[in-house]
Chains A and B, each alone.
Chain A
Amino acid sequence: MAKVQPLPNEVRGLNRTLEVGVRHLRTKDLLGMQELSPEEIQLILDTAFVMKQILSVQTKKTAHLQGKSIIHFFAENSTRTRLSFESAGKYLGATSSNISKTGSSINKGENLYDMAKTLDMMSTDILVMRHPESGAARYLSEKISASVVNAGDGMNEHPTQALLDMMTMVEYKGHLKGLKVVIAGDAMHSRVMRSNVWGLSKMGAEVRVAGPPTLIPRFLDRMPCTVYHDVRKACEDVDVVMGLRVQFEREHKVLFPSVNEYAKFFGIDDECLRRAKEDAIIMHPGPCNRGVEMPSHIHEHDRSVIHEQVANGVSVRMAVLFLLNARRNLQA
């Protein structure tokens, strides 16, 4: 079977000449998919496809954020998110700096507010932050004048991940409405799951969340999704199979007995793919515990778009930075 290919722009209805620059987000910050309207999500996705075209030309640089300062504050480990935000800012012409938890005065005992206020006083335009506590991005957004982009707060939300996932789905499936998506794995600790459930449901997709009972939070079925414990059954007739990383670093106690047992009973396997639609795509937000959430051969499957997700991460983050900056310019 040949490697799955993105649909041509014409088929996706994305053969667009967007009047970039006249539209923007409603709010100062991007905190979560729960706060975004379907129109805003569509705007970000449309803009992201334009950004992707910019990235495909020889000199991938624009001046839209020239003279703007972005600070990346990551109080948790990150490879993909951090690097793609940094690249996105640079391709748009912004000046950017980085601080991490270990290298910052947080380690000297400074509280989050004082540190963020310090950044604010240095004329920061956009603060991209990742933090282990749910609600941390919202907390700072109410305290500082810079725009806050939530790059993951605890178990709450990771909106740019959901946006890049949705962009990838549009790229391969042409649309989100009516799409059947299964999100399988450690839902309990997953901000990616929460952001995707909010975002995909707003765009009319049917979301299923699957995982062992101990990794499914109570009352998840009251969120706009259907809960399954049988991962294979959940994969029946779906367009998208998305694995979630088992977050070993977040649990104080063991919620399943062993990695082997998890992989056998709850991992994404060939049976899952057999039950899914023939042209279903395979996704994972990364980093993947290979052999746990899915075996390597599924990770590298012809229908896997896991690496393409990473590529789209840059486009989506360019779009978010661009649209937040557009709003800031409007207010200035």
Chain B
Amino acid sequence: MNNEYPFYNRVLIKEVINGLTGELTDLAVEDGVFVAELTGEPDRVIEGAGLTALPGLIDAHAHLRDPGFEYREDIVSGTRAAARGGFTAVAAMPNTIPVADSAPVIRYMIEKAGQAGYCRVLPIGAVTKGQKGEEIAEIGFMAEAGAVAFSDDGKPVSAAGIVRTAIEYASYFDRVVISHCEDLSLAAGGVINEGIVSTEMGLRGIPSIAEDIQIDRDTRIAEYSGLPVHIAHVSTANGVEIIRQAKARGVKVTAETCPHYFTLTEEAVRGFHTMAKVNPPLREESDRLAVIEGLRDGTLDMIVTDHAPHHEDEKDCEFSLANNGMIGLETCFPLVYTVLVKTGLLSLRDAILKMTEAPARLFRLPVPALAAGEPADLTLVDLGREIVYDVSESLSKARNTPFSGMALYGFPVLTMMAGHTTWEQV
């Protein structure tokens, strides 16, 4: 466990609101688990008045850049940022150097996160060797080493046949393939959404159909095989509709979206703002609204960060040359709360489940709960306090976010993993 925060074996959190039920409650923690009653006097009492307790959040999609890109982020800085964002587990995508396509890399990530002691890392192994899209990787060995799912995220698996093979092979190990949906021949080197903004700014556009077509393809493969598939970072209205219809047909498809897709549109790119450059790109207002509707009706099961740290120089350059992505671990829950919950679009309970239960089920893990006997994974958030997010204070190594300067509600004030404090606002 981390040495940054002292350890208290018996902790009593008094008069806190349970975010899932809305009830006022005391939470007792002993030996790293929630207990009905402490066996002795608490070592620490936390006054929970005004705070809301959430089960430890799980991010099903982040890039921790370790090994290989430690100048952008490493497992220590990434997990510290995750804890600050209320997460007690974060799934790390395999586009590292070397690519996480073998068991030793998976073990390295888990061990390094364990030593750092801020947040569990759930490695996602590569679907294909070297993420080249040609031969499937050693999914069995990686699953055995602790890989929770498989994905070539960052790039699509272009060959449908490989996707089918991977989905079917991974099913033996009870693992799901996460599909980054992008038809590269349609994306055609685009750098933002193909729309009025790309037309006016003279930037190459990525059409929404580049995403839609592969969502359709991969859900049909899953349907044919009768096996699950998970669709990463959905950004388009038609993508949401394709998943909705697939679910109605009984396809075992789950899907995620990210805060930027329900908060921002392609307009955020105007002025050549590289901080808003991300893949899939920010789309139109109608897409943003469709993503929200997808979250409301359950078509979109999860909210994930797609935390994508980049070095300053990789964003401070000509627009087309700038890297895709934005950091998101620290702002994810505050954006969910401010944009969706506070506005009445989504209940707090549903929002929490999309960041706890749904990713836990995807990864075949126990569902986090604020209940006696469960690991004491929780975060306390202050829903009533408005804070202007200042990225210069981020615990991530990276500073690439379009959300700095935005006033948000619901920042975590304390996060606990198995009874150990991993973040506390002083």
The reply to whether A218 and B199 contact each other, CB–CB distance below 8 Å, is: yes
Distance in angstroms from B200 CB to nearest chain A CB is: 6
* A17 interfacial contact with B, CB 8 Å: no
- Chain B residues within 8 Å of A135, by CB: 201, 203, 272, 318-320
* A154 interfacial contact with B, CB 8 Å: yes
> Known: A111-B313, A133-B319, A134-B319. Contact between A223 and B200, CB under 8 A?
yes
- Chain A residues within 8 Å of B203, by CB: 134-135, 154-156
The reply to whether B318 and A139 contact each other, CB–CB distance below 8 Å, is: yes
Considering only residues 308-327 of chain A, those with a C-beta below 8 Å from chain B are none
- Chain B residues within 8 Å of A139, by CB: 272, 317-319
Considering only residues 284-339 of chain B, those with a C-beta below 8 Å from chain A are 313, 316-321
Q: Which residue of B lies closest to A136 (CB)?
A: B318
- Chain A residues within 8 Å of B318, by CB: 112, 131, 133, 135-136, 139
- Chain A residues within 8 Å of B421, by CB: none
The reply to whether A156 and B201 contact each other, CB–CB distance below 8 Å, is: yes
* B189 interfacial contact with A, CB 8 Å: yes
Considering only residues 195-229 of chain A, those with a C-beta below 8 Å from chain B are 217-220, 222-223
Q: Which residue of B lies closest to A194 (CB)?
A: B202
* A108 interfacial contact with B, CB 8 Å: no
Q: Which residue of B lies closest to A143 (CB)?
A: B316
Q: Which residue of B lies closest to A198 (CB)?
A: B200
A154 to B192, CA, bound (A): 15
Total contacts A-B at CB 8 Å: 66
Distance in angstroms from A255 CB to nearest chain B CB is: 10
* B271 interfacial contact with A, CB 8 Å: yes
* A157 interfacial contact with B, CB 8 Å: yes
The reply to whether B321 and A133 contact each other, CB–CB distance below 8 Å, is: yes
* B188 interfacial contact with A, CB 8 Å: yes
- Chain B residues within 8 Å of A194, by CB: 200, 202
Encode contact with A along B186-201: 1 for CB under 8 Å, 0 otherwise. 0011000011101111
8 Å CB contact of A133 from B188, B194, B320: B320
- What number of B residues sit within 8 Å (CB to CB) of A? 23
* A175 interfacial contact with B, CB 8 Å: no
Distance in angstroms from B283 CB to nearest chain A CB is: 13
A253 to B205, CA, bound (A): 14
- Chain A residues within 8 Å of B200, by CB: 34, 194, 223
The reply to whether B202 and A191 contact each other, CB–CB distance below 8 Å, is: yes
A135, A219, A253 interface centre (most CB from chain B within 10 Å): A135
Q: Which residue of B lies closest to A222 (CB)?
A: B196
B202, B203, B271 interface centre (most CB from chain A within 10 Å): B202
* A252 interfacial contact with B, CB 8 Å: yes
Distance in angstroms from B402 CB to nearest chain A CB is: 16
The reply to whether B272 and A218 contact each other, CB–CB distance below 8 Å, is: no
* A113 interfacial contact with B, CB 8 Å: yes
- Chain B residues within 8 Å of A191, by CB: 202
> Known: A133-B319, A154-B320. Contact between A219 and B201, CB under 8 A?
no
The reply to whether B194 and A218 contact each other, CB–CB distance below 8 Å, is: yes
Q: Which residue of A lies closest to B203 (CB)?
A: A134
Distance in angstroms from A57 CB to nearest chain B CB is: 39
A217 to B188, CA, bound (A): 14
Encode contact with B along A146-185: 1 for CB under 8 Å, 0 otherwise. 0000000111110000000000000000000000000000
* A138 interfacial contact with B, CB 8 Å: yes
A131 to B318, CA, bound (A): 10
Known: A113-B317, A217-B198. 15 other contacts (CB 8 A): A112-B318, A131-B318, A133-B321, A135-B272, A135-B320, A136-B318, A139-B318, A139-B319, A155-B202, A218-B205, A218-B207, A219-B195, A219-B196, A219-B199, A223-B196
Q: List 11 A-B contacts (CB under 8 A).
A: A131-B318, A133-B318, A135-B201, A138-B272, A139-B318, A156-B203, A194-B202, A217-B199, A217-B205, A218-B195, A222-B199
